[in-house]
Amino acid sequence: MITAFFILLCGISFSQKPGSDDKLAVQYFEQKEYEKANVYFDKLYDQNPELWFSYYYKSLIGTKDYGKAEKICKKQLKRSKQSTPIYVYLGKVYKLDGEEKKEKECYEKAIKEVAPYQNFVQPLATAFIEEGLFDYAIDTYHKARKVNLEYPYFYELADVYKRKGDLKSMINEYLDAIEYRDSELYAAQNYLQNALGYDDDNGGFKNPLLKQELQKRIQQRPDKVVFSEFLIFLQKQQKDFEGAFIQCKALDKREKEDGKRLFDLAKICTANEKYEVAEKCYQYVIDKGPAYGYYDASNVDIINVGYLAITQKPQPSAEELTALENRYLKAVEKYKNTNLANFLISNLANLQTYYLNKPDDAVAEIEAIIAAPGIDPVTRAEFKVQLGEVYLIKGFIWDASLLFSQVEKDFKFEPIGQDAKFRNAKLSYYAGDFAWAKTQCDVLKGSTTKLIANDALDLSLIITDAIGVDTNAAPLEWFAWADLLIQRHRYTEAISHLDSINKIFPTHTLGDDIFYKKAEIYVKLGRYADAEKMYKNILEFYPTELYGDDAQFKLAELYEKKLNDVEKAKQSYQDVLTNYPGSIYVVEARKRYRALRGDNLNNG
């Protein structure tokens, strides 16, 4: 194959129609019958040296005819002073012929004679790289850099250092690019991510060299905020949120910012379930005082982070829950008659309903919101749905159904209305009216909201599979009641009901459903080994049934977030992609797999 720079240098297209000699020459060359090829190339080269040089040169090297190869290289050099890459080919001839001194002279002469402009420098450096002569390629770029300061060849040099295996120098070229111009930050980040790899503890952005060199730059150039920005980005990629908090705080103070950097980091920490760091971020913003724009939002969000931290514990203490309720009540009083109160009351009501056994207090809180004048209709509908769920926990099924029906009627074609319709279908399911529940679910399978459509499909399939041609609905009635007990956080009773189904109705078809529900309970109770077993049971005995892909994804999530086993999590997410390519979890599984592998998913 002819080297690219000769095509560019000579501007000759290979679209010319070859004659018989051309065809035979190329055929013999491709078959590595170089002696036969040379018979034709000798004549072809004389007719058109620019076109046939590379073929003839390589064919001569193939027959070890170094004298002839030397001759045509020198001939090419006489034709153009800027054909400096030919020196690299000539140097190779001397190398193969054992003339090391002449070889070195060729390389040095090439660098000396090359014009310091990109269109001449790049072909020469490429020729060196193709021969594995990385130091000479580096010297070529350095020469050009000294002359042409407007194009310093950072990325090209970084690539050569990577090929050479000199990661420290590679990293510093990218950091030089950032120091040269702040706008190079994102490009350098992406190149570094790709250059350092993904898969092991020393790869990707986990490579300690990168952080070390970056920290040196920050010490040397504290005025270059861009390096601190890069370090924060790096810490986020590594999920070193504590380190990111320290850096963000330092930048906020030094640059006299408004706290937005910490506010944004708090959101990321919350999404990654790093609640302690999120609270530190919000508290820093709060401590700046009410004059700053993120003060009130931080006051609300810090309590909601506390809610997530406490309620995601397997068994939060009564003291923790009561203290959290008091924080909410004080904040609601502070922000009453503002939109911020809505966010607070929603979680407060859930806390009172599901954790403090105070559903009546939750009802009062929600009804006050619903009755408030001027409330946004969608917000009112959302609180009606929440109130319906509280009524369900209290056992007021028909009151709940009335609320869901109101929302469904008012927002028939909106997601909130379809959600209410599905909740009504579940009420029928809990009440044992399976035919009506299935009818409603079958309608919702066409919902524009994918999550509702899939939930409706799942419930419809559960009903169909559990009853089928068998008219005995008793096993499904027990299962539905256990499901309702789970909603009410009465986990021990739910497990007892699920186990009883197996004992009383040994021929039922709810095996995978029972395993999945028990896994949900065990996760809530912090019994992760038991949950792992339930998911594995589904994958072993019911891999193609309704909960196959759900179990695979949830198992991966369990390894990632609860058992902290990154390798098993990666493998399990990969199994979702491999074994369930049509699953609704594919997009998220791929995203999480790539995140665990260390890919650069975004620059945030």
What confidence score (pLDDT) does residue 197 get? 62
- Taking only the tens place, the pLDDT of each residue in 139-183 is 999 999 998 878 999 999 999 999 999 999 999 999 999 999 999
Q: Residue 521: what are its φ and ψ, rounded to 5°?
A: -65, -45
Contact yes or no for 552/516 (Cβ under 8 A): no
Can you tell me the distance from the alpha carbon of 271 to that of 256, in angstroms, rounded to the nearest whole number?
27
Q: Which two tokens stand for residue 17?
A: 């129609």
Domain for residue 287, yes or no?
no
Contact yes or no for 244/265 (Cβ under 8 A): yes
- CATH number of the domain to which 534 belongs: 1.25.40.10
Can you tell me the distance from the alpha carbon of 226 to that of 218, in angstroms, rounded to the nearest whole number?
9
Can you tell me the distance from the alpha carbon of 90 to that of 100, in angstroms, rounded to the nearest whole number?
12
Specify whether 473 is located in the same domain as 503: yes
What confidence score (pLDDT) does residue 2 get? 39
Q: Which two tokens stand for residue 57?
A: 């040169």
Specify whether 434 is located in the same domain as 492: yes
Specify whether 544 is located in the same domain as 500: no
Specify whether 436 is located in the same domain as 500: yes
- Is residue 454 very low, low, confident or very high in pLDDT (cuts 50, 70, 90)? confident
Average pLDDT value for residue range 407-423:
94
Specify whether 540 is located in the same domain as 600: yes
- Is residue 500 very low, low, confident or very high in pLDDT (cuts 50, 70, 90)? very high
- Is residue 206 very low, low, confident or very high in pLDDT (cuts 50, 70, 90)? low
What confidence score (pLDDT) does residue 6 get? 43
Q: Which two tokens stand for residue 144?
A: 């050009």
Domain for residue 114, yes or no?
no
* Listed residues 492, 509, 526: the one ending a domain: 509
What confidence score (pLDDT) does residue 343 get? 87
Which amino acid, 174? Answer: Y
- Residue 8 confidence (pLDDT) above 90: no
Instruction: Give the residue from 326, 345, 327 showing the smallest Cα distance to 279.
Output: 327
Average pLDDT value for residue range 410-425:
94
Among 326-335, 359-368, 499-508, 575-584, name the one with the lowest average pLDDT: 499-508
Helix, strand and coil percent figures for the chain, each rounded to 5: 75, 0, 25
- Residue 547 confidence (pLDDT) above 60: yes
DSSP state of 563: S
What confidence score (pLDDT) does residue 332 get? 95
What confidence score (pLDDT) does residue 507 get? 84
**Which helix (H) or strand (E) element contains residue 265?**
helix 260-271
Instruction: Give the residue from 96, 95, 97, 60 showing the smallest Cα distance to 75.
Output: 60
Specify whether 503 is located in the same domain as 542: no
Distant-in-sequence, close-in-space partners of 55: CB < 8 Å, separation ≥ 6: 2, 25, 26, 29, 37, 41, 44
Distant-in-sequence, close-in-space partners of 89: CB < 8 Å, separation ≥ 6: 57, 69, 73, 127
Can you tell me the distance from the alpha carbon of 235 to that of 232, in angstroms, rounded to the nearest whole number?
5
Specify whether 544 is located in the same domain as 559: yes
* Listed residues 462, 486, 509: the one ending a domain: 509
Tokens 């099924």: give the residue.
Answer: 397
Tokens 């690019």: give the residue.
Answer: 177
- Residue 602 confidence (pLDDT) above 70: no
Can you tell me the distance from the alpha carbon of 599 to that of 376, in angstroms, rounded to the nearest whole number?
41
Higher pLDDT: 534 or 470? It is 534
What confidence score (pLDDT) does residue 36 get? 93
- Residue 18 confidence (pLDDT) above 60: no
Average pLDDT value for residue range 494-500:
95
Contact yes or no for 573/555 (Cβ under 8 A): no
Contact yes or no for 84/120 (Cβ under 8 A): yes
The region, left, alpha or beta by phi > 0 then psi within -120 to 50, assigned to residue 432 is left
- Residue 599 confidence (pLDDT) above 70: no
Q: Report the largest interatomic distance among the alpha carbons of the chain, rounded to a whole angstrom.
A: 99
Average pLDDT value for residue range 489-498:
94
Average pLDDT value for residue range 412-430:
94
What confidence score (pLDDT) does residue 335 get? 93
Q: Residue 35: what are its φ and ψ, rounded to 5°?
A: -60, -45
Helix (H, G, I), strand (E, B) or coil at 100: helix
Can you tell me the distance from the alpha carbon of 35 to that of 558, in angstroms, rounded to the nearest whole number?
65
- Is residue 301 very low, low, confident or very high in pLDDT (cuts 50, 70, 90)? very high
**Neighbour count for residue 89 (Cβ, 10 Å):** 26
Distant-in-sequence, close-in-space partners of 594: CB < 8 Å, separation ≥ 6: 601
* The dihedral sign for the CA sequence 553, 557, 559, 563: negative
Number of domains in the chain: 2
- Taking only the tens place, the pLDDT of each residue in 65-114 is 999 999 999 999 998 767 899 999 999 999 999 999 999 999 999 999 99
Domain for residue 596, yes or no?
yes
Specify whether 548 is located in the same domain as 604: yes
Can you tell me the distance from the alpha carbon of 443 to that of 434, in angstroms, rounded to the nearest whole number?
14
What confidence score (pLDDT) does residue 19 get? 55
- Residue 17 confidence (pLDDT) above 70: no
- Residue 364 confidence (pLDDT) above 90: yes
Helix (H, G, I), strand (E, B) or coil at 505: coil
Domain for residue 437, yes or no?
yes
Distant-in-sequence, close-in-space partners of 499: CB < 8 Å, separation ≥ 6: none
- Residue 471 confidence (pLDDT) above 80: no
Expressed as residue numbers, the domain containing 463 is: 414-509
DSSP state of 18: P
Contact yes or no for 195/158 (Cβ under 8 A): yes
* Listed residues 475, 492, 509: the one ending a domain: 509
- Residue 542 confidence (pLDDT) above 80: yes
Instruction: Give the residue from 602, 603, 598, 601 showing the smallest Cα distance to 196.
Output: 598
Average pLDDT value for residue range 198-224:
75
Domain for residue 479, yes or no?
yes
Q: What is the CA radius of gyration of the chain?
A: 35
Specify whether 547 is located in the same domain as 592: yes
Domain for residue 402, yes or no?
no
Query: Mean of the per-residue pLDDT values for the chain?
Result: 90
* The dihedral sign for the CA sequence 510, 515, 518, 524: negative
**Which helix (H) or strand (E) element contains residue 525?**
helix 511-525
In percent, the amount of the chain with pLDDT more than 70 equals 93
Q: Which two tokens stand for residue 89?
A: 């080919």
Instruction: Give the residue from 233, 210, 95 showing the smallest Cα distance to 162.
Output: 210
Q: Which two tokens stand for residue 137?
A: 């390629």
- Residue 241 confidence (pLDDT) above 60: yes
What DSSP assignment string belongs to 568-603? HHHHHHHHHHHH-TTSTTHHHHHHHHHHHHT-----
Contact yes or no for 185/229 (Cβ under 8 A): yes
What confidence score (pLDDT) does residue 12 get? 35
**Neighbour count for residue 180 (Cβ, 10 Å):** 12
What confidence score (pLDDT) does residue 506 get? 86
Can you tell me the distance from the alpha carbon of 135 to that of 356, in angstroms, rounded to the nearest whole number?
70
Can you tell me the distance from the alpha carbon of 470 to that of 467, in angstroms, rounded to the nearest whole number?
5
What confidence score (pLDDT) does residue 194 get? 83
Specify whether 604 is located in the same domain as 551: yes
Contact yes or no for 480/436 (Cβ under 8 A): no
Alpha helices in 48-180 (DSSP H): 49-62, 66-79, 85-96, 100-113, 118-130, 134-147, 154-164, 167-180
Specify whether 530 is located in the same domain as 599: yes
Specify whether 421 is located in the same domain as 490: yes
Domain for residue 548, yes or no?
yes
Contact yes or no for 539/571 (Cβ under 8 A): no
